[in-house]
Structure 1
Amino acid sequence: MDERDWLMLTTLYHEKNITKAAQQLFISQPALTHRLQQLEKKFNVKIVVRGRRGVQFTPQGEYLAKCAKEMLATFQQIKENVLNMDHKVEGVLKLGVSNFFTDYKLPNLLKRFKEQYPSIEFKVTTDFSSEIAHLIYNQDVHVAFVKGEYGWKEQKRLLFDETLCIASKEKIAIEDLPSLPRIDYRTDPLLQTAVDHWWYENFSKPSLVSIEVDKADTCKKMVVNGLGYAIMPTMILSDVEDVHKIIIKTKDGMPIIRKTWMFFHEESLQLNIVKAFVDFVEKLSLEEGI
Structure 2
Amino acid sequence: MDLRRLEYFLVLARVLHFGRAAEELYISQPGLSQQIKVLEQELGTPLIHRGTKSITLTTAGEVLREHGERVLAEARLCVERVRAAAEQPTGVLRVAYTRSGADLNMHELVERFRVRYPEVRLSLSTAWTSRNLELLEADQVDVAFVRAAVRHRPVESLVVATEELVVAMADDHPLAARERVSPDDVIGLPLVHWPRAQGPGYHDEIRRQIWGDRPQRVVLEQPDAEHILREVAGRVGIAVLDEHRARKLCPPGVRVRRFVEPVPTTTLVVAWRPRAGHASVDRFIELCREHLGPGGR
Please, what TM-score do these two structures have when normalized by structure 2?
Answer: 0.51
The residue number in structure 1 matching 2:284 is 277
The residue number in structure 2 matching 1:245 is 257
- AA in 2 matched with 1:261: V
Kindly indicate whether the alpha-carbon contact (under 8 Å) linking 2:157 and 2:272 is maintained by their aligned counterparts in 1: yes
The residue number in structure 1 matching 2:163 is 162
Unaligned runs of 5+ in 1: 1-82
1:265 counterpart (246, 268, 273): 273
Over the aligned positions, Cα root-mean-square deviation in angstroms equals 4.1
- AA in 2 matched with 1:140: Q
Q: CA deviation at 1:231?
A: 1.1
2:225 counterpart (189, 212, 216): 216
Alpha-carbon distance in structure 1 between the residues aligned to 2:266 and 2:117: 31
Alpha-carbon distance in structure 1 between the residues aligned to 2:156 and 2:199: 22
The residue number in structure 1 matching 2:146 is 146
Q: CA deviation at 1:92?
A: 1.0
Unaligned runs of 5+ in 2: 1-81, 176-180
Kindly indicate whether the alpha-carbon contact (under 8 Å) linking 2:225 and 2:246 is maintained by their aligned counterparts in 1: no
- AA in 1 matched with 2:270: M
The residue number in structure 1 matching 2:78 is none
Kindly indicate whether the alpha-carbon contact (under 8 Å) linking 1:178 and 1:208 is maintained by their aligned counterparts in 2: no
Q: CA deviation at 1:259?
A: 2.8
Alpha-carbon distance in structure 2 between the residues aligned to 1:106 and 1:254: 26
1:232 counterpart (222, 236, 241): 241
Alignment map for 1:63-74 (pairs within 5 Å): none
- AA in 1 matched with 2:274: E
> In 2 relative to 1, CA 196–120 (structure 1 residues): closer, same or farther, beyond 3 Å?
same
1:64-116: CA deviation from partner (whole Å, max 9, x where unpaired): xxxxxxxxxxxxxxxxxxx9994343221012332223564433333332223
Alpha-carbon distance in structure 2 between the residues aligned to 1:100 and 1:181: 23
1:190 counterpart (201, 221, 225): 201
Alpha-carbon distance in structure 2 between the residues aligned to 1:226 and 1:271: 50
Q: How many residues align?
A: 198
- AA in 2 matched with 1:145: F
1:230-285: CA deviation from partner (whole Å, max 9, x where unpaired): 1112242354798432428xxxx9654433322223325x3332222222222223
> In 2 relative to 1, CA 141–221 (structure 1 residues): closer, same or farther, beyond 3 Å?
same
1:12-59: CA deviation from partner (whole Å, max 9, x where unpaired): xxxxxxxxxxxxxxxxxxxxxxxxxxxxxxxxxxxxxxxxxxxxxxxx
Alignment map for 1:1-290 (pairs within 5 Å): 86-87=85-86, 88-102=88-102, 104-151=104-151, 152=153, 154-168=155-169, 170=171, 172-173=174-175, 182-186=191-195, 187-195=198-206, 198-199=210-211, 201-202=213-214, 206-209=217-220, 212-220=221-229, 229-237=238-246, 239=248, 243-247=255-259, 255-268=263-276, 270-286=277-293
